[in-house]
Structure 1
Amino acid sequence: MTDDDILSEFRAAQALLEGHFILSSGKRSARYLQCARVLMDPMRASRLASTLASRLPREIRSEIDVVVSPAMGGVIIGHEMGRALGLDALFLERPEGTFELRRGFAIEPGQKVLMVEDVVTTGLSSREAIKAVADAGGEVIAEAALVDRSGGEVDLGVPFIPLISLDFPVYDPDDLPDELAAIPAIKPGSREKA
C-alpha cells in the first residue's frame, strides 16, 4: 500500500476529521485521525496490519516473541498485528493511571516485545508502555504504529516503524492560530486527562 492508499482507507472510514481537537498530549490540532473508525472494519484493519507487519525489518520481525499494545487505542491494531505475525497479542491497561498487564496476561522474563500503537504524537504513552513492559520482565525491541504524527521527531529509545507519517501542525493551547481559537475544542481520544 502506498501513502495515498493508506489515506484513502482513512477517508473511506470517515476517520480523517477536521475541527479543533485536544490531543492526548494536551496539544491542539485542526486535524485528527480517529483510528477506531478505520479499524472498525475487520478487513480494513487486517489489510493495514498486514502492510505494517510487512514493513518491519526482517531482523526485528524474526526476534519478536509477543505483541503488546496500550489500551484503548492500540488494542485492535495490536491484535491484528499479532494475527499478521502469528503471535500472541497482549494489552496494557491504566486502571490507576499507570500501565500494567491485567486479565492474566504475563510476559516471560526476557521475552522480546513489539509494542504496537495506533497514533504516536509525542511518544509519552509509548514510553510509559515500554517502561511497563520492562517492569514486567520483557524487552521492547521495536515499536510499530499506524500513524506517526511527530513529524519524524519522536524518540522512543527503540526502532520506530510507522505505517504512515503525517505532518499535521500541532499547537500549544496558549499559542493557537486565530482560526483554530475561534472553534470550540473537543477531545475525541480515549484518555480522560491531557
Structure 2
Amino acid sequence: MTRDEVLEEFRAADALLEGHFILSSGLRSSRYLQCARVLMDPARGSRLAEALAAQIPAELRIQISAVVSPAMGGVIAGHEMARALGVEAMFVERPTGSFELRRGFRLEPGQKVLMMEDVVTTGLSSREAIKAIEEAGGQVIAMASLVDRSGGKAEFDIPFFALIELDVPAYQPDALPPELAAIPPVKPGSRAAA
C-alpha cells in the first residue's frame, strides 16, 4: 500500500481532522488523524493491518506469537494486526495510572510479542506499554503503528514499523503559533478542553 493509498483510506473515513487539537502527549497540533474513525470499517482496518504486517520481515514475523496494544486507542489496531499475523490479541490498560495486563490476559515467560499502537507521537506511552508487557513476562521483539507522527524522533530499542509517517508540527501549549492560538483547543474523542 502506497503513502497516497493509506492517506486516501483516512480521507475516505473522514479521519483526517483540521483544527486545534490536544494530543495525548499534551502537545498541540493543527491536524489530527482520528484512527478510531479509520478503524470503524473492519474491511478498511484489515487492509491497513495487512499492509503494515507485510512490512515486518518474515524472519521477525514468524517469531511473534501475540500482539499487545495499549488501551484504548491501540485496541482495534492491535486486534487487526493480530488477525493479519494469525496470533492472539491482548491489551494493557491503566486502571491506576500505569499500564498493566489484566482481564485474564497472560503472557508466557519470554513469549515473543509485537506491541501495536494506532499513532506514535513522542513514544512515551509506547515505552510505558512495552515496560508493562515485559513486566508481565513477554519479550517485545518489535513495535508497529499505523501512523508515526514523531518525525523520526520516537526511539525504541527494538525494530519499529509504521504504515505511514506523517510530519505534522506539534507545539508546547505555551508556544503556539498565533493562528493555532486563535482556535479553541479540542481533545479528540472528548468534549472541548479549556
Q: For residue 81 of structure 1, give the secondary structure of its aligned residue in structure 2.
A: helix
Q: Equivalent residue for 1:7? A: 7
Distance of 1:126 and 1:64 partners within structure 2: 18
Give the 3-state SS of the residue equivalent to 2:145 in structure 1.
strand
d(CA) in 2 for partners of 1:33, 1:101: 27
Whether the 8 Å contact between 1:116 and 1:144 is mirrored in structure 2 is yes
Q: How does 1:89-100 map to 2 (within 5 A)?
A: 89-100=89-100
Structure 2 gaps of 5+ residues are none
Paired residue for 2:32?
32
The residue aligned with 2:155 is: 155
Q: Which runs of 4+ in 1 moved over 6 A?
A: none
Is 1:143 paired with 2:157? no
Is contact 1:69-1:75 (8 Å) kept?
yes
User: Within 1, Cα distance between the matches of 2:33 and 2:134?
Assistant: 29
Structure 2 counterparts to residues 1-194 of structure 1, below 5 A: 1-189=1-189
Q: What is the alpha-carbon distance in structure 1 between the residues aligned to residue 20 and residue 108 of structure 2?
A: 43
Matching residue's letter, 1:125: S
The amino acid across from 1:127 in the alignment is R
Please say if residues 24 and 189 of structure 1, whose CA atoms lie closer than 8 Å, have aligned partners that are also in contact.
Answer: no
Any unmatched runs of 5+ in structure 1?
none
SS at match of 1:126: helix
Amino acid at match of 1:180: L
Counterpart CA distance in 2 for 1:54 and 1:162 is: 11
Q: Normalising by structure 2, report the TM-score.
A: 0.96
Q: Could you list the per-position Cα deviations for residues 129-171 of structure 1 after superposition, in whole angstroms to 9, with x for gaps in the alignment? A: 0000110111100100000000111102211100000000111
Identity, % of aligned positions: 72
1:70 and 1:92 in contact (8 A); partners too: yes
1:86 aligned partner, one-letter code? G
- Note the aligned Cα RMSD (angstroms): 0.9
Deviation at 1:58, TM superposition (A): 1.6
- Secondary structure of the corresponding residue to residue 128 of structure 1: helix
Rounded to whole Å, the distance in 1 between the matches of 2:135 and 2:189 is 26
Aligned pair count reads 190
Shift of 1:189: 4.9
